[in-house]
C-alpha cells in the first residue's frame, strides 16, 4: 500500500492543476503540429480571440458564467460523495420554470419579476434533482444512472412541451413567446453605458455577478457552516456520519436539491440574460462541461471560477481559432478540451505524486 501524498493545500489546489493544464496544452500543441499548423500561432489566435478584445472578453465571461453555475452544482454534490451528472436536465427544467413564471406574471414590474424568475429556475432545477437524490437516499438507486436518465427525460419533456403546449400558434419554431422586457437581466454594456462608460457589445450580463455571489455562498456553505460540515462528513465516511448523529439520507437529498438549484443558474444566464425566450437545446452541453470544471477546480469555488475562465477561453477563443485557421476545426478545439479533461482528471494523480516527491526531497534537503 502506497504512503499518502503529503502536499501543502496551495500546491494541491493551484500548482497541480496548473501543471496539468500546461501539460495538456503541450500535448495539444503536438496535435496541432501533427496537422501541419503552428502551435504558437494557434495559441496566439486562441488568446487574442478570447481575451485580446473587449468583445471577445465579454463572450468569454458569458461562457464562464454558465460554467461557474454548473461547476458549483457538481461540486456541492461531490462534497456529499455524489457524482451528479444531471446538470443538463436540471438546467433544462430550470428554463421551463423561468418560462412559466415570466410568461404568466407579465403584469409585475421588473424588480419583482427578475427575482421571481431566478427563484423559479432554482425551484424547478432543485425539484428535478431531488428525485434522483431521494432514489439514491431511500432506494439505493445509483445517482449516476438516475441523473443520466433524468437528462434524457428532461430533453424529451421540453421537446413535447415546446412543440405541443408552449409554442406560439403563429410560429413554426419550437420556442415560447418572448419574455416581457422588464424581466430581461441587463447586459453589461448597457449597465456601463448608464454610468457613461462605453464597452463593446456582447452577451455578457449581470448574471456574472450572481454567479460570483453563488460561488461565495457555496464557499460559506461548505467550509463555514454546520450543514457544509455534515455534507463533507457524509461524503468522506457515511458510517462515521451515522455515529456522529448525521443522517446520510437527509444530507444526500439536501445536497442534490442545492446542486439542482445551482444548475438553474445556467438557465438564468442563457434565457433571462440573453435569449429572452425558452427554446430547445439552450444548454448546449454546458452541463457536462461543468463536470470537468468541478474536477479541475478541486470542487472549490475559487478553483471552479478559474477553471470556468479556462473553458470560457477555449469556447470563445476556439471559435476565433477555427475562423483564422480553418485546418483547426471546432472538433479539434473539442479534442483540445478533452485533452485538458484527461490530464486534469484521469492523469491528475500522476502529477500530484510527482509534485509530492519534489516537496519531500525539498524537506529532506532542508533537514
pLDDT in tens, 283-336: 989 999 999 899 888 899 998 999 999 999 999 998 888 888 888 887 888 888
Q: Percentage of the chain with pLDDT > 70?
A: 97
**Residue 160 CB contacts under 8 Å (≥ 6 apart), including other chains:** none
Q: What is the pLDDT of residue 1?
A: 37
Alpha-carbon distances of 166 from 99, 118, 234, 271, 272, rounded to whole Å:
9, 20, 41, 15, 17
The most distant pair of C-alpha atoms in the chain lies apart, rounded to whole Å, by 79
Residue-wise pLDDT for 229-279, tens only, equals 999 999 999 999 999 999 999 999 999 999 999 999 999 999 999 999 999
The residues facing 187 across adjacent strands are: 205
Residue 350 reports pLDDT greater than 80: no
Give the pLDDT confidence score for residue 5 in this predicted structure: 62
Main-chain dihedrals φ then ψ at residue 175, nearest 5 degrees = -155, 160
Answer yes or no: are the C-beta atoms of 257 and 132 closer than 8 Å.
no
Please write the tens of the pLDDT for every residue from 24-58.
Answer: 888 888 988 988 889 999 889 999 999 999 999 99
C-alpha cell of residue 364: 529532506
pLDDT of 195 higher than 90: yes
Cα–Cα distance, 185 to 102 (Å, whole number) = 12
Please state, in angstroms and rounded to a whole number, the distance separating the CA atoms of residues 292 and 67.
10
CA 138 and chain centroid, separation = 28
Asked if 17 and 303 count as a contact pair (C-beta separation under 8 A), the reply is yes
Q: What band does 3 get if pLDDT is binned at 50, 70 and 90?
A: very low
Q: How does residue 209 score in pLDDT terms, banded at 50, 70 and 90?
A: very high
Cβ neighbour number for residue 123 with a 10 Å cutoff: 18
At 115 the pLDDT is 98
Map residue 285 onto helix, strand or coil.
coil
2: pLDDT strictly greater than 70: no
Question: Over the stretch 56-106, which tens digit does the pLDDT of each residue have?
Answer: 999 999 999 999 999 999 999 999 999 999 999 999 999 999 999 999 999
The average confidence (pLDDT) of the chain is 91
State in Å, rounded, how far the first CA of the chain is from the last one. 26
The pLDDT value given to residue 332: 81
The per-residue pLDDT for 192 is: 96
Say which residue, 206 or 341, is predicted with more confidence: 206
- Give the torsion through C-alpha atoms of 321, 189, 304, 347, to 10 deg: 0
pTM, full prediction: 0.93
Amino acid at each position: 500500500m502506497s504512503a499518502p501524498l503529503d502536499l501543502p493545500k496551495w500546491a494541491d489546489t493551484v500548482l497541480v492543476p496548473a501543471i496539468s493544464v500546461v501539460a495538456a496544452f503541450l500535448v495539444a500543441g503536438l496535435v496541432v503540429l501533427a496537422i501541419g499548423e503552428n502551435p504558437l500561432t494557434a495559441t496566439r489566435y486562441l488568446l487574442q480571440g478570447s481575451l485580446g478584445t473587449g468583445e471577445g472578453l465579454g463572450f468569454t465571461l458569458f461562457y464562464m458564467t454558465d460554467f461557474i453555475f454548473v461547476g458549483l452544482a457538481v461540486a456541492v454534490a461531490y462534497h456529499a460523495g455524489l457524482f451528479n451528472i444531471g446538470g443538463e436536465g436540471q438546467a433544462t427544467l430550470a428554463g421551463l420554470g423561468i418560462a412559466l413564471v415570466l410568461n404568466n406574471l407579465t403584469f409585475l414590474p421588473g424588480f419583482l419579476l427578475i427575482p421571481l424568475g431566478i427563484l423559479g429556475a432554482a425551484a424547478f432545477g432543485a425539484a428535478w434533482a431531488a428525485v434522483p437524490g431521494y432514489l439514491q437516499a431511500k432506494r439505493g438507486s445509483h445517482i449516476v444512472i438516475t441523473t443520466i436518465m433524468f437528462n434524457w427525460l428532461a430533453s424529451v419533456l421540453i421537446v413535447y412541451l415546446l412543440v405541443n403546449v408552449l409554442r406560439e400558434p403563429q410560429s413554426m419554431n419550437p420556442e415560447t413567446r418572448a419574455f416581457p422586457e422588464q424581466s430581461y437581466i441587463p447586459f453589461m454594456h448597457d449597465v456601463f453605458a448608464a454610468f457613461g462608460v462605453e464597452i463593446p457589445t456582447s452577451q455578457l450580463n449581470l448574471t456574472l455577478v450572481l454567479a460570483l455571489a453563488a460561488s461565495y455562498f457555496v464557499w460559506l456553505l461548505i467550509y463555514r457552516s454546520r450543514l457544509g460540515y455534515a455534507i463533507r462528513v457524509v461524503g468522506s465516511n457515511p458510517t462515521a456520519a451515522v455515529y456522529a448523529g448525521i443522517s446520510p439520507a437527509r444530507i444526500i437529498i439536501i445536497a442534490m436539491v442545492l446542486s439542482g438549484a445551482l444548475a438553474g443558474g445556467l438557465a438564468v444566464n442563457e434565457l433571462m440574460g440573453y435569449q429572452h425566450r425558452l427554446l430547445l437545446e439552450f444548454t448546449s452541453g454546458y452541463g457536462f462541461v461543468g463536470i470537468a470544471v468541478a474536477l479541475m477546480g478541486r470542487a472549490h469555488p475559487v478553483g471552479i471560477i478559474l477553471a470556468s475562465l479556462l473553458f470560457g477561453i477555449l469556447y470563445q477563443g476556439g471559435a476565433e481559432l477555427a475562423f483564422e485557421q480553418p485546418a483547426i476545426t471546432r472538433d479539434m478545439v473539442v479534442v483540445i478540451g478533452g485533452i485538458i479533461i484527461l490530464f486534469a482528471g484521469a492523469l491528475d494523480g500522476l502529477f500530484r505524486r510527482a509534485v509530492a516527491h519534489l516537496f519531500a526531497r525539498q524537506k529532506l534537503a532542508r533537514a
